[in-house]
């Protein structure tokens, strides 16, 4: 089975993770721009971070046989530094139209402050102008209120719910999101957001329509194999393979391919690893390491 993990912060992960993900069937990942743990103090660090997401990280993923896409945005937490946020807003239009950028994200509310509201709205306007999907981070505190507000504001700004992915849902929010025609994404994240047994029950109850899952693996205690592990559990618990395929692959592809930057042929036609390749003159290898180069089994020489 092939999987897509449509929310995972690979910059914070190791090459072992990339190898294990590929082994488990993950063919493509989407990395939303987010808060790095250490608050940034200069606009230049945002600029370099966005360049990293569309540049080196994309290359690094390719060296392990995984297609890498990203969403670009100002995260809600750092939107509270208004002076910096103003400068970051000026950068965003330069990055959202780059190759491999499949949306504006992850944006939304954290503490639901006035500053967060201001920059969320400005970024919704940007997404609408450039016709890209939006990836919404919903808050951990006051989740239901924050989720409803995220959707209301998106509608107020004229966004089509089919272009908006509401992330980090749970049992309390899923019905409201589906009823309004938005995509309902779920983060399988240990001990906090959602476990995979609960997720299995949600899919049994609501079916697969407009639902998909991700790992949101990052620098915290998280699991980059959450998508394939949840697929496995769903199959074991009697969910049909077609349903599992929808929530672990097809629906994420349908949502984010609306960007025009991501299609199945990207990985179906190009899955082979060639670690002799370089990015800006550098490979991922250190002195003495042997590059892994996979041969195309359909070619006879």
Minimum CB separation from Zn ion for residue 29, in Å? 12
Choose between 221 and 268: whose C-beta lies nearer to Zn ion.
Answer: 221
34 counts as binding Zn ion under rule CB under 5 A: yes
Size of the site for Zn ion (CB under 5 A): 2
Query: Closest Cα to residue 182, out of 208, 154, 205, 143?
Result: 154
Q: Nearer Cβ to Zn ion, position 143 or 245?
A: 143
> Closest distance between Zn ion and the C-beta of residue 6, in Å?
11
Shorter beta-carbon distance to Zn ion: residue 65 or 116: 116
Choose the stretch contacting Zn ion; rule: CB under 5 A; options: 32-40, 92-100, 113-121, 247-255: 32-40
The residue among 166 and 216 lying less far from Zn ion, judged by its C-beta, is 216
CB closer to Zn ion out of 31 and 178: 31
Q: Which is nearer to Zn ion, 34 or 109 (CB)?
A: 34
Taking CB under 5 A as the binding criterion, the range among 34-42, 81-89, 172-180, 197-205 that sits at the site for Zn ion is: 34-42
The pair of structure tokens assigned to 296 is 């195309």
User: At its nearest, how many Å lie between Zn ion and the CB of residue 291?
Assistant: 32
Give the binding range for Zn ion (CB under 5 A) out of 97-105, 123-131, 199-207, 214-222.
214-222
Give the nearest distance from C-beta 187 to Zn ion in angstroms.
8
CB of 8 to Zn ion, least distance (A): 8
Q: What is the 3-state secondary structure (H, E, C) of the chain?
A: CCEEECCCCHHHCCHHHHHHHHHCCEEEEEEECCCCCCCCCCHHHHHHHHHHHHCHHHHHHHCCCCEEEEEECCCCCHHHCHHHHHHHHHHHHHHHCCCCEEEEEEEECCCCCHHHHHHHHHHHHHHHHHCCCEEEECCCCCHHHHHHHHHHHHHHCCCCHHHEEECCCCCCCHHHHHHCCCEEEEECECCCCECHHHHHHHHHHHCCCCEEEECCCCCCCCCCCHHHHHHHHHHHCCCCHHHHHHHHHHHHHHHHHHHCCCCCHHHHCCCCCECCCCECCECCCCCCCCCCECCCCCCCC
Q: How far is the CB of 107 from Zn ion (least distance, A)?
A: 11
Binding residue (CB under 5 A) for Zn ion from 174, 216, 231, 255: 216
* Contact between residue 49 and residue 34 where contact means Cβ atoms under 8 Å apart: no
> Which residue stretch of 33-41, 155-163, 229-237, 264-272 sits at the interface with Zn ion (rule: CB under 5 A)?
33-41
The answer to whether residue 239 forms part of the interface with Zn ion (CB under 5 A) is no
Q: How far is the CB of 12 from Zn ion (least distance, A)?
A: 10
Residues within the interface to Zn ion (CB under 5 A): 34, 216
């Amino acid at each position: 089975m092939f999987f897509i993990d449509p929310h995972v912060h690979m910059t914070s992960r190791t090459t072992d993770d990339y190898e294990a993900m590929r082994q488990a069937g993950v063919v493509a990942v989407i990395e939303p721009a987010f808060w790095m743990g250490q608050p940034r103090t200069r606009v230049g660090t945002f600029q370099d971070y966005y360049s990293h997401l569309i540049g080196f990280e994309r290359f690094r993923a390719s060296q392990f046989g995984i297609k890498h896409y990203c969403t670009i945005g100002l995260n809600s937490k750092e939107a509270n530094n208004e002076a910096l946020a103003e400068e970051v807003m000026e950068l965003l239009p330069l990055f959202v139209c780059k190759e491999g950028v499949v949306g504006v994200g992850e944006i939304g509310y954290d503490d639901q402050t006035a500053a967060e509201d201001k920059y969320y709205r400005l970024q919704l306007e940007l997404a609408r102008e450039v016709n890209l999907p939006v990836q919404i981070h919903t808050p951990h505190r006051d989740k239901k209120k924050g989720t409803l507000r995220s959707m209301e504001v998106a509608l107020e700004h004229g966004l089509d719910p089919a272009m908006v992915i509401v992330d980090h849902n749970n049992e309390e929010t899923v019905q409201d999101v589906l009823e309004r025609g938005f995509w309902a994404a779920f983060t399988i994240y240990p001990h906090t957001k959602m476990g995979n047994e609960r997720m299995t029950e949600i899919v049994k109850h609501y079916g697969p329509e407009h639902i998909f899952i991700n790992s949101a693996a990052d620098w915290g205690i998280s699991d980059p194999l959450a998508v394939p592990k949840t697929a496995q559990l769903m199959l074991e618990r009697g969910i049909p393979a077609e349903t599992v395929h929808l929530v672990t692959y097809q629906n994420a592809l349908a949502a984010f391919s609306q960007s025009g930057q991501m299609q199945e042929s990207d990985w179906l036609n190009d899955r082979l690893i060639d670690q002799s390749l370089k990015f800006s003159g550098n490979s991922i290898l250190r002195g003495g390491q042997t590059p892994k180069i996979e041969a195309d089994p359909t070619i006879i020489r």
